[in-house]
Amino acid sequence: MNLSKNEERDYVVIGLGSCGSVFEVPGTEIAVKKGKDTKALWNDFRLTNAVYNAFEEVRFSLRVTFPENTIPKVPFCSTFLTPKSLDLRRFPSSHHEAGAALFMDRILPLPQATREALIDTYFDPETRDEAKNDQENQACLVRIYLGENESVDEVYDSLRNFPLRLNMIEDLGLDVAALADEMAIALAVIHWQAQVDAMDAEFVLGSPCTTPEIRQAQEPAADEEPHDVHTPDFPKRSVHMWVLDFDKSKKIEPTVDAIHESLVPAFIGNDPYYPRPDVDHDLWVQFGNTYTKASRTILKRKGASSSMLKLPQLFLDAVAAKIKEHEDWDPAKDIVFG
């Protein structure tokens, strides 16, 4: 990647997260994630590219299996720079502390008309004009929360990582079923093709960048220490579901133990992206049917054994059982003071 084309323009903050701050490279479709925890960023770089490659490996098969659905996207990570190599001069002065950085596809914000519609619908009337003119709200990605409804006292003041909850999606007339299907397909790819647990991964709506569909992402081995990685330039690609942020995820083996020890905790412990049987049972059933269908497509393509083909349903059953266990938990009965 040739980063010299825009060297005269400083990076602009477009997001803040637990792993680091996210910047746009003005005049490009590149985002930079910078943080102090080199190991966490390196894990994000490795596993994001592992998941990216997994999607590209099965994209055609899934398009045949799900001709009516859109296959979600994953950002392509092109470059990783260690703290020793990272030039801090283009970062804002408040972000000049030492750190590593990864360079990846920028998930472009939702179109202006969509952003203004969200503000008009969910922001207090007295703040709407200010919100529409707030530069920070231009960096609008929407988190898709199919496992939670909006609380009555919710107040919205920013479009960054805007939480679009289940009832809001329905009120806006969006296709909830299609979003559940896409999320199920994505999770199946992550679990059974990439073999990653998806701990703390995010599912967002954004506009796609215009880079080509097919690229081979560089996926360093698990035992490699963080080191500089560069990928050469490549030469165009509406609102789309994206999956990102794998800094807390880990690789798994497709076993029963991995389901109970990794996949179920990652599902239950994440933000409420996924449908849940205790929130909308019908949507949960649809999500599960699509997840198992996508999983079987992936596993059969890999020549999986009959016992391995049962793992996706075992995962769903284990998730439902864990949620039921939490529902049945009564603190008055189950907390015992010594």
Sorted by sequence, the CB contacts under 8 Å of residue 331 that are 6+ apart come out as none
Full pLDDT tens readout for the chain, 338 residues:
444 444 567 999 998 877 889 999 998 999 999 999 999 999 999 999 999 999 999 999 999 999 999 999 999 999 999 999 999 999 999 999 999 999 999 999 998 999 999 999 999 999 999 999 999 999 899 999 999 999 888 899 999 989 999 999 999 999 999 999 999 999 999 999 999 999 999 999 998 766 555 455 667 777 888 878 776 443 333 689 999 999 999 999 999 999 999 999 999 999 999 999 999 999 999 999 999 999 999 999 999 999 999 999 999 999 999 999 987 755 455 444 44
Q: How far apart are CA 88 and CA 23, in angstroms?
A: 12
Q: Give 63's contacts (C-beta < 8 A, 6+ positions apart).
A: 71
Measured distance CA(116)–CA(127) in Å, rounded: 12
Give SS3 for 80: strand
Under a CB-based contact definition with an 8 Å cutoff, are residues 86 and 21 in contact?
Answer: no
**Residue 218 in tokens:** 């560089």
Query: What percent of the residues of the chain are helix, what percent strand, and what percent coil, each to the nearest 5?
Result: 40, 15, 45
108's CB contacts (< 8 A; 6+ apart) are 29, 206, 207, 208, 209
Cβ contacts of residue 60 below 8 Å, gap of 6+? none
CA distance 73 to 189: 11
pTM over 0.75: yes
Contact between 79 and 1 under an 8 Å Cβ cutoff? The reply is yes
The HSE-up count of residue 194 (CA atoms within 13 Å, CB side) is: 30
Residue 199, both tokens: 């701990």
